[in-house]
Amino acid sequence: MSLFKRCLRQYVELNLHVSFALLSLVLLTYRYAGIPCNWNYLAFAVLGTLVAYTYIKNVPARASFKSGVLLVLQRSPWWVHALAIISVLLVTAFNVAQQLGLVLVMTLSLGYILPAPIKLAPFRDYGAIKIVIVALVWSGISVVLPLLISNHVSEEIVLLFLAQTLWVIVLTIPFEIRDAGKDVLRHPTWPQKLGLLRAKILGTVLLIICALIHLYLLRMGLDIEPEVDMESELPITFWDIPFVITLSLTCFGLIMARSKQSFWYSAFWIEAIPIVWLVMTYFFGINL
């Protein structure tokens, strides 16, 4: 393996790639919403994602709550724990609504990593719902929390959250397909339960619903009277050429996913889709 590939593999395995993917989604939310970037929140999104994914890798799904906590402390590098402390300190600058929203997101994240003290299995041991938990956490971090600067949840935030959740679910299905042959869980994953073809059809349907939600938000924006100055109340939609290309790339990645895929297919190329979306939007200036 060449030096470049070794460095690239380390970049992926140290969870830097997935952290930048989530960061890209947060930046896109700020851009489409037309609000200034909150650098404190951006730092939290990157560091929190890196810490969470590192902890997940260090805890077996069948570990007890006590042993899971010990494994997180023992197996994770010291610098990851330091980043976790920094992430907690960054949260102190959030407003009340963001902090309350983060409590819900963290509850889902901890439930995914660790079993409950009453010896229930962690969420990731239930294949049917683990993909939904991942999508809810990603959507909460990338859409809901950045938009809670007004301290209230509006209809448009709920719709954006729903659309983003559906899109992230589809983005995660190739990972489920990759692991279908080796995942031994309490309940089967979507590809294990439905089969590869039906899982891909379901993913395509979810993408269509996601697109329809954004078209609805776009229509809401067009229906508002132009002379009314209500910028803070305008519906937010991601609908533009980069978003359509992103949906197409996601659909293509879903269709081409195989159970016997290379290390790079899901771990690098699928996770790179949010980064590609950001590059198209910010640097190429492709807009309707």
- CATH number of the domain to which 190 belongs: 1.10.600
- Low-confidence winner among 44-58, 191-205, 227-241 (lowest mean pLDDT): 227-241
Tell me how far apart the alpha carbons of residues 186 and 130 are, in angstroms, rounded to a whole number.
Answer: 11
> Tens of pLDDT along 118-156?
556 666 777 778 899 999 999 999 999 999 987 677 888
Given this model, what pLDDT does residue 46 score? 96
Given this model, what pLDDT does residue 283 score? 78
Given this model, what pLDDT does residue 285 score? 66
- The reply to whether 234 falls in a domain is yes
Q: Please tell me which residue, 55 or 248, carries the higher pLDDT value.
A: 248
Given this model, what pLDDT does residue 185 score? 64
Q: How confident is the model at residue 229 (pLDDT cuts 50, 70, 90)?
A: very low
Instruction: Reply yes or no on whether the pLDDT at 83 is more than 90.
Output: yes
The answer to whether the beta carbons of residues 275 and 196 sit under 8 Å apart is no
- The reply to whether 206 falls in a domain is yes
Q: How confident is the model at residue 204 (pLDDT cuts 50, 70, 90)?
A: very high
- Residue 143, C-beta contacts closer than 8 angstroms, at least 6 positions apart: 25, 29, 157, 160, 161, 164
- The reply to whether 242 falls in a domain is yes
- The reply to whether 1 falls in a domain is no
For CA atoms 126, 127, 132, 138, the dihedral sign is positive
Instruction: Reply yes or no on whether the pLDDT at 222 is more than 90.
Output: no
- The reply to whether 83 falls in a domain is yes
- The reply to whether 288 falls in a domain is no
Give the alpha-carbon dihedral of 163, 168, 169, 172, to 10 degrees. 170
Instruction: Reply yes or no on whether the pLDDT at 226 is more than 60.
Output: no
Q: What is the rounded average pLDDT for all residues in the chain? A: 86
3-state secondary structure of 264: helix
- Residue 60, C-beta contacts closer than 8 angstroms, at least 6 positions apart: 68, 71
Q: Is the pTM of this model over 0.75?
A: yes
The answer to whether the beta carbons of residues 177 and 123 sit under 8 Å apart is no
Given this model, what pLDDT does residue 19 score? 97
Q: Please tell me which residue, 222 or 14, carries the higher pLDDT value.
A: 14
- The reply to whether 7 falls in a domain is no
Mean pLDDT across 96-119: 81
Return the DSSP state at 270: I
The answer to whether the beta carbons of residues 261 and 9 sit under 8 Å apart is no
- Low-confidence winner among 20-24, 85-89, 130-134 (lowest mean pLDDT): 130-134
Q: How confident is the model at residue 164 (pLDDT cuts 50, 70, 90)?
A: very high
Give the alpha-carbon dihedral of 21, 23, 27, 30, to 10 degrees. 120
Q: How many CA atoms lie within 13 A of 240 on its CB side?
A: 17
- The reply to whether 77 falls in a domain is yes
Given this model, what pLDDT does residue 236 score? 82
> Tens of pLDDT along 169-178?
999 999 999 8
AA identity, residue 25: L
Domain count, the chain: 1
Instruction: Reply yes or no on whether the pLDDT at 287 is more than 60.
Output: no
- Low-confidence winner among 63-77, 134-148, 220-234 (lowest mean pLDDT): 220-234
Percentage of residues of the chain with pLDDT beyond 70 = 84
Instruction: Reply yes or no on whether the pLDDT at 228 is more than 50.
Output: no
Q: In 121-159, which positions are buried (b, 16+ CB within 10 angstroms) versus exposed (e)?
A: bbbbbbbeebbbbbbbbbbbbbbbbbbbbeeeeeebbeb
**Domain coverage including residue 43:** 12-282
Q: DSSP per residue over 135-146, as a string?
A: HHHHHIIIIIHH
Percentage of residues of the chain with pLDDT beyond 90 = 59
Q: DSSP per residue over 44-112, as a string?
A: HHHHHHHHHHHHHHTS-TT--HHHHHHHHHHHS-HHHHHHHHHHHHHHTTS-HHHHHHHHHHHHHHHHH
